[in-house]
Chains A and B, each alone.
Chain A
Amino acid sequence: MLRRKSGLGIATMMVAGVLLGALASGEVRAEAPAAEELMKQAHMNLYYAGDDGRAVVNMTLTDKRGKTRLRSFVMLRLDIEDGGEQKYFTYFTEPSDVRRTGFMVWKDPNEDDSRWIYIPALDLVKRISANDKGSSFVGSDFSYEDVSGRHWNDDTHILLREEEVDGQPYYVIESTPKKKDSFAKKITWIHKDRMLPEKEEYYDKKDRLERVFRAEEIQEIDGFQTVTLRSMTNIRKEHSTSVEFTNIEYNIGIEDGLFTERYLKAPPKKMIEN
């Protein structure tokens, strides 16, 4: 606790120092593209590994009374264009009373997502829409954007500093939304070698820390650095979500034709096996 506190103090001083230095020497202009390039790389590594991917996901939601709920689903992803459009398919297996619920997202970084949901009890597919990418993903502390990625173009980025945490080298980048958004500031720690965002802090406009993302476990799978356990803690609302990815596969040849209402109702068995 104490260590963290003093660390934060030093971090704040460093941020101030970097900012002052940057202002004085006009380095902002020089560093900005570099920071954006780092964010783009990290984004690509985290969200666009391979051409497609499949994983069995166990999501644990912990509320402020410490009670937990488990959600399990199979998740499929197909990249239509690297860094651009993607399609996601989610098939729920737990809790048992929502088993077979299906969820499909067509993500277009430049527009609102298109989303469909399949309600097994009514045997009905419904298109749902939301204009807010910052809203909760299946009731978790992750937003849609956290799951499918926030485009680096939406924010301006500054490289605050480079630092070592627990012996690991990081770039520390501050991002500010270009338009009014669900957060006012984000600090990202990108691992220098793995080039993955391994910690993120989201601040509100009163500069209060609201949410913290952590890549808790990272493995190399099929040659890709893969975050297999990640968590998001909502500091203010005192709840958290941890997400574990298992049975991860890349480049399995998922076809575009899978992402249709028909398959949402009745997905091919091999795609949804645990």
Chain B
Amino acid sequence: MKRLLVNLSINHPKLVIAATVLVTILFGLQMPKIIIDTDPENMLPEDEEVRIFHHEVKEVFGLHDMLVLGIVREDGAFNPETLGRVARITEQIRDIEGVIEYDIMAPTEVDDIYTTDEGVLRIETLMEEAPETQEEADRILVQIKKNPVLRGKLASDDGTTIAIFIPLESKEVALGVAREIEGIIEKETGNEEYHLAGIPIAEATFGDEMFRQMAVSAPMAFLLIFLLMLYFFRNAVIVIAPMIVALMSVVWTMGLLIGLGYTVHIMSSMIPIFLIPIAVLNSIHILSEFHHRYRKTHDMSTTIRETMDELFVPMIFTSMTTVVGFTSLILTPIPPVQVFGAFVAFGVASAWLLSVLFNTAYAALLSKKQLESFGAHEESGSTMHRAMTFIRDFSLRRNKLIVGVGAALLIVSVFGLFRIEANDNPVNWFKKAHPLRVADRVMNDHLAGTYIAYISIKAEEEGGLKDPAAMHYIESLQLHLNKLENVGATTAITDIVKKMREEMLGDPAEAVIPETRDEIAQFLFLYEMSGGDPDDLFKFITPEADRANLWVQMHKGENRAVAAVVEKSRAFMADNPPPGLTIGWAGLSYINVVWQQKMVSGMTKALAGSFVVVLFMMMFLFRSFWMGVLSMIPLTATIALVYGFIGFIGRPYDMPTAVLSSLTLGLSIDFAIHFLQRSREQYKASGSFRGAMEGMFRTPAQAITRNILVIAIGFVPMFFANLVPYITVGAFFFAIMLVSGFTTLFAFPALLSLMSPGLLAGRAQTDVATTSGHS
């Protein structure tokens, strides 16, 4: 196969280039069809039970996605002036296209229940119009605090914060509605602070930012890598080839992904960022080797053939292991991660094919003149050369120290690994200072919590929830939940029934669940009869009274915090079996918990699976059990050190962090393959371990070092990205390169010198290099 590909490129370079360009254009034409997807629900397949249930609950109880506008005034928001603003703003929000105006929750929209001094039960709009006196303003806050349905939602108990909940006809209108609300707010002057939050706006903003990052981060890394390559090889004409290869593989992959109709999710938006360095890795080896040999022969055709002889096998294996690493992501039950893994794998394969075909064809077309200045600085006295010699001598002389320190680091890392906590909150994908994060923080500090989950309670028959036993059970579940740290408030039909009873009997002590079914039925009926909006009631109980919906408001949306609440509610239900009720969780906050748990277990499987596959591939490549094991060391060290570090600093193991383990695996093994495979060839050529190391630390080690530097530095700009997952990826590339690269350069010579040199000689008679046609 190698000969076929190389001959094709050398003999028909123009044809090869034309063909690859044509394919690239075809894939490129798919790009405009791009669809961005930021819906966290899509972390689970559409037919996933919890998603179907979530939608059913939303449908049954008429729940919509909501924006939340927080109005904060530190010296108190309950004054005629601020309330006037709130009324004015609400009035304008009602008129925005896409807002479901009859479901807005605001002081001028919600109903309040109370008994007048004359003993008349009134259900009326909480704030018909803005109050004129401070007394009236104070009264509104008192009424909110007395109403369990409004308390902690509409206003904070300290009266500094008012929230307006704005339901949307669909998620798609979120950004447009948000813009209009911002326009409305801008017209208001005064001491109020405004915060706009809500999952739909977070999603939409995230999509927007993602697009921008995609357009900025990838080209920036691309440019920087190009400049670094230029620095190392001093020849723009030559360095441009690997850059074109990288670009083409990105276009092929994204074109295929988009063309096949997949949406671009946060992970797949980073595919270009993953592919560029992977594509460049191979090319740096080719260029280094090519350059080294060209100086000896000054014959293009021979140089290309020799370079390919030397690199074909390691390149196939480095690409295949990376493909294995990313393909293993298909084992995670998270569709966006599966798509990401599959397409990066495709991209890596494309990059391999292109670096063999395109690089050689391109080189075949170059004139001698264009090659003159190529790599002119690689003399024996160069910094690079001296550094390599130093590393070689140091690691051979201090072999025991290196192995000892390495082992110690590994052991320490294992402790870090045990401290890793899987945790994610899509809001945290924004940086801390982002307005949405600020809004999230402010509102959760003041209100009962903006992270809402639902507990759906089903009775066996219609009317079943009018049973006092059912009501008592819901109440006890609420009492249990309310004690939990993360729970700001729970609201259920029980609260409405108790409130009605209290108002009917005119005594707060009577706010208890009635003891007869008829009384419960009559309070529910009374609520409908007395002029409140029946649909408000039906957000908590179906008209048939066979299903109820318990709202759980939480301050923190991190999966662990939400999962803790879910677990404790389940423990409660296990200890106190519900009387003929079926109880299940729904809501976006809960969906996040489910996919996070699936991801953690899925990733563990994926990583373990690909580790084993790669180990077998290495044993096959080297035809040696111990060489196979040895080659896994840099990879193991990198995973242990990087993730151990994450454990120690307490950074949550979130989706991007999890997915990056396959990148770690795929990239870390590459250096090991190049080092061991080529040390072996050097050993065969020189006949001694010392000679092998000397040869190794010339061109191959230099190529490895260039790779480390190009990719590590190339990703530094990503540290300054606006979205946290991008920063994470940049940091990972940096860490992977340094740890796996230097483990390879320091630990391998040290370990090899301590082990039997026969290992390099290869006990197996058939050497892979020989079978692959090396003379």
Contact = CB atoms under 8 A, between A and B. Distances in A.
Size range of the interface on B?
Answer: 35 or more
A136 B121 contact: no
B514 interface: yes
B652 interface: no
Given A98-B521, A101-B525, A121 B125 contact: no
Size range of the interface on A?
Answer: 20 to 34
A128 interface: yes
Contact of A128 (B123, B516, B521, B534): B123
A162 to B, nearest CB: 34
Nearest to A238: B62
B531 A136 contact: yes
B507 interface: no
Interface string B397-432: 000000000000000000000000000000000000
A97 B124 CA distance: 26
B119 interface: yes
A139 B504 contact: no
Contacts of B519: 119, 121-122
B128 interface: yes
Contacts of A206: 95
A150 to B, nearest CB: 16
B529 A69 contact: no
Contacts of A130: 122-124, 530-531
Contacts of B538: 63
A97 B466 CA distance: 10
Given A97-B518, A131-B124, A117 B530 contact: yes
B521 A97 contact: yes
A69 B123 contact: no
> Which secondary structure characterizes the binding site on chain B?
mixed
A136 B528 CA distance: 8
Contact of A139 (B62, B95, B122, B534): B534
A122 B60 CA distance: 31
Contact of B518 (A121, A135, A139, A237): A121
B517 A97 contact: yes
B541 to A, nearest CB: 12
A121 B513 CA distance: 13
A97 B465 CA distance: 13
> Which secondary structure characterizes the binding site on chain A?
loop
Given A97-B517, A132-B125, A67 B543 contact: yes
A270 B62 CA distance: 42
Most buried by B among A135, A139, A144: A139
A190 interface: no
A103 B533 CA distance: 18
A29 interface: no
Interface string B503-524: 0110000000010111101110
Interface in B7-49: none
Contacts of B578: none
Interface in A101-144: 101, 103, 115, 117, 119-122, 124, 126-132, 135-136, 138-139, 144
A126 B516 contact: no
Contacts of B535: 237
A189 to B, nearest CB: 26
Given A69-B543, A128-B123, A237-B535, A139 B529 contact: yes
Interface in B512-569: 514, 516-519, 521-523, 525-526, 528-535, 538, 542-544
Please name the 9 residue pairs, one residue from A and one from B, whose CB atoms are nearest each other, closest first.
A139-B528, A97-B521, A130-B531, A121-B519, A135-B531, A139-B534, A128-B121, A127-B120, A98-B525
